[in-house]
């Protein structure tokens, strides 16, 4: 009787690399702790459209000027720059980011951004149009607010 040899392929384990688990909470880019002044738009493709780009830590208290600034920011800027200036993927960048540390973007950048708008250059979210109805004094308080949150996140200034 002929012995029939069956080729047992065995369990050929094919290691299929699991695609990196997609975690909506994961912020794969833009940690405020990552320095970067590159003019190449940061890659935000791993983050869902509409999601925040960073997770800023908030200071326990804000100065009175920053409180005024936060109110104005929430009314005039947060629709694009997100709650706590964390950015909105596909819409506008986080301002709590090393790109916007004071040495690189001093106060004039805030005023000029609001008054003249910003041509897209650091990101791929398009231009920022000028924002009406924000007088220079209010822009200063918005900046005070952003700087206080930046400092809480280790951004020098
Ligand atoms: C309609 C959406 C929108 C609104 C509203 C908006 N921004 Fe922006 N902003 C943008 C985008 C998009 C950029 C990024 C441009 C780039 O660098 O690619 C930007 C960039 C900036 C910058 C960086 C400027 C620079 O020189 O690189 C500052 C500062 C800024 N915004 C402040 C503000 C403030 C303050 C307000 C509220 C008074 C505001 N923005 C409202 C979309 C917006």
Q: Looking at residue 103, what is its pLDDT?
A: 81
Task: Report CA-CA distances (Å) from 42 to 24, 28, 39, 59, 125.
Answer: 18, 11, 8, 26, 11
Instruction: Looking at the CA of residue 110, tell me the nearest atom of ligand 1.
Output: 29
- What the chain holds in terms of domains, given with CATH numbers, is 64-152 (1.10.760.10)
CA of 28 to the centre of ligand 1 (A): 22
Instruction: Looking at the CA of residue 123, tell me the nearest atom of ligand 1.
Output: 18
Percent of the chain at pLDDT exceeding 90: 60
- What is the per-residue pLDDT across 134-155, written as a single tens digit (0 to 9) for each? 999 999 999 999 999 999 999 8
Q: Looking at residue 39, what is its pLDDT?
A: 59
Give the confidence band of 21 by pLDDT, cuts at 50, 70, 90.
very low
Decide if 89 contacts 48 (C-beta within 8 A): yes
| Degrees, nearest 5: CA angle 123-91-145 | 85
Q: Is pTM beyond 0.85 here?
A: no
Q: Is the pLDDT of residue 65 over 90?
A: yes
Residue nearest to atom 36 of ligand 1 (CA): 77
Q: Residue 100's closest CA among 28, 37, 31?
A: 37
Question: What's the CA gap between 39 and 41, in Å, rounded?
Answer: 6
């Amino acid at each position: 009787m002929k012995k029939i040899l069956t080729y047992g392929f065995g369990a050929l384990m094919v290691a299929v690399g699991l695609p990196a688990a997609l975690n909506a909470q994961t912020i794969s880019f833009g940690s405020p702790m990552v320095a970067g002044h590159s003019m190449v738009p940061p890659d935000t493709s791993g983050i869902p459209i509409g999601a925040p780009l960073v997770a800023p830590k908030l200071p326990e208290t804000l100065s009175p000027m920053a409180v005024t600034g936060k109110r104005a920011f929430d009314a005039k800027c947060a629709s694009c720059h997100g709650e706590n200036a964390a950015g909105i993927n596909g819409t506008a960048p986080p301002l709590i980011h090393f790109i916007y540390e004071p040495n690189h973007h001093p106060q004039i950048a805030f005023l000029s951004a609001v008054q003249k708008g910003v041509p897209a250059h650091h990101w791929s979210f398009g231009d920022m149009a000028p924002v009406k109805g924000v007088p220079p004094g209010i822009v200063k308080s918005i900046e005070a607010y952003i700087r206080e949150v930046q400092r809480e996140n280790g951004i020098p200034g």
